[in-house]
């Protein structure tokens, strides 16, 4: 059941981050899920572990803070992918 929730939340986070970054037409559902899950992990690491923001430990969870830090992490991931030329 945990994997199904991770896929659903990852898809939501990836889709919202792609809307923020303007890459929605370039990526499909699978890419949204991957960007959402990896972005949530990145958000937890950057904002929680490196910057010490306690609420960031919920990144990727189904809560307001979890979704917010997950989206922030996914936005950072899309930004990096744009830098290396994965998205235009």
Q: How far is CA 55 from CA 17, 27, 58, 60, 77, in A?
A: 19, 29, 6, 11, 19
Given this model, what pLDDT does residue 3 score? Answer: 86
The pLDDT value given to residue 12: 93
| pLDDT for position 83 | 92
Average pLDDT of span 54-72: 84
Q: Residue 66 has what pLDDT?
A: 86
Mean pLDDT of the chain: 87
């Amino acid at each position: 059941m945990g994997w199904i929730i991770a896929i659903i939340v990852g898809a939501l986070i990836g889709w919202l981050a792609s809307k923020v970054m303007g890459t929605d037409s370039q990526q499909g559902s699978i890419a949204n899920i991957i960007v959402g899950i990896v972005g949530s992990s990145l958000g937890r690491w950057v904002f929680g572990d490196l910057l010490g923001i306690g609420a960031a430990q919920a990144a990727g969870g189904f809560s307001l803070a979890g979704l917010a830090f997950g989206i922030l992490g996914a936005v950072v991931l899309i930004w990096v992918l744009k830098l290396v030329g994965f998205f235009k």
